[in-house]
């Protein structure tokens, strides 16, 4: 093969290697609608899990911890929506 015939093949091979070697740009963060959908799905799953569990007797200390977790989750949902 002559050098002139090898040049296009070499150029294509170099471009292919360069394209495969570099990180192609990707979407870094999910969109707002995906975040809201994810939060809604997690809320739905948590509610179904709570319904499936038998009732549990809790004392005041556990009740205050549950309230604290609930407030944290409420704040996270608010931040995701805004």
For every residue of the chain, which 3-state class applies, written as one string? CCHHHHHHHHHHHHHHHHHHHCCCCCCCCCCHHHHHHHHHHHHHHHHHHHHHCCCCCCCHHHHHHHHHHHHHHHHHHHHHHC
- Tokens for 60? 């005041």
Question: In this structure, how many other beta carbons lie within 10 angstroms of the beta carbon of residue 33?
Answer: 8
pTM above 0.75, yes or no: no
Q: pLDDT (tens digit, 0 to 9) for every residue of the chain, 82 residues total?
A: 566 677 888 888 888 877 777 766 666 676 777 777 777 778 888 877 777 777 666 677 777 787 888 888 888 888 887 6
At 24 the pLDDT is 62
Q: From CA 69, how far away is CA 52, in angstroms rounded?
A: 19
Domain containing 55: what range?
3-81
């Amino acid at each position: 093969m002559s050098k002139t015939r090898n040049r296009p093949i070499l150029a294509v091979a170099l471009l292919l290697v360069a394209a495969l070697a570099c990180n192609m740009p990707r979407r870094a963060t999910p969109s707002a609608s995906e975040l809201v959908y994810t939060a809604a799905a997690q809320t739905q799953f948590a509610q179904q899990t709570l319904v499936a569990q038998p009732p549990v007797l809790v004392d005041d200390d556990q009740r205050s911890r549950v309230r604290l977790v609930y407030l944290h989750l409420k704040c996270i949902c608010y931040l995701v929506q805004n």
